Copies of this chain bind each other. A is one copy, B any other.
Amino acid sequence: MISKTPMTPYYAVIFTSLRTEDNNGYELAAKRMTDLAQKQIGFLGVESARSEVGITISYWESLEAIQNWRNNEEHRNVQKSGKKKWYASYKIRICKVERDYEF
Residues of A within 8 A of B (CB): 1-3, 5, 12, 14, 16-18, 47-55, 57, 83, 87, 89-103
Q: Which residue of B lies closest to A92 (CB)?
A: B101
A contact face: mostly helix, strand, loop, or mixed? strand
Q: Which residue of B lies closest to A101 (CB)?
A: B92
Whether A97 pairs with B95 at a CB distance below 8 angstroms is yes
| Distance of A24 from chain B, by nearest CB (Å) | 19
Q: Which residues of the other chain, B, contact A96 by a CB distance below 8 angstroms?
A: 95-96, 98
Whether B90 pairs with A100 at a CB distance below 8 angstroms is no
Whether A14 pairs with B16 at a CB distance below 8 angstroms is no
Additional 12 contacts, C-beta under 8 A, given A12-B95, A14-B14, A95-B98: A1-B53, A2-B17, A14-B57, A16-B57, A47-B53, A49-B51, A92-B102, A93-B97, A93-B99, A94-B97, A94-B100, A95-B97
| Distance of A50 from chain B, by nearest CB (Å) | 5
Q: Which residues of the other chain, B, contact A94 by a CB distance below 8 angstroms?
A: 97-100
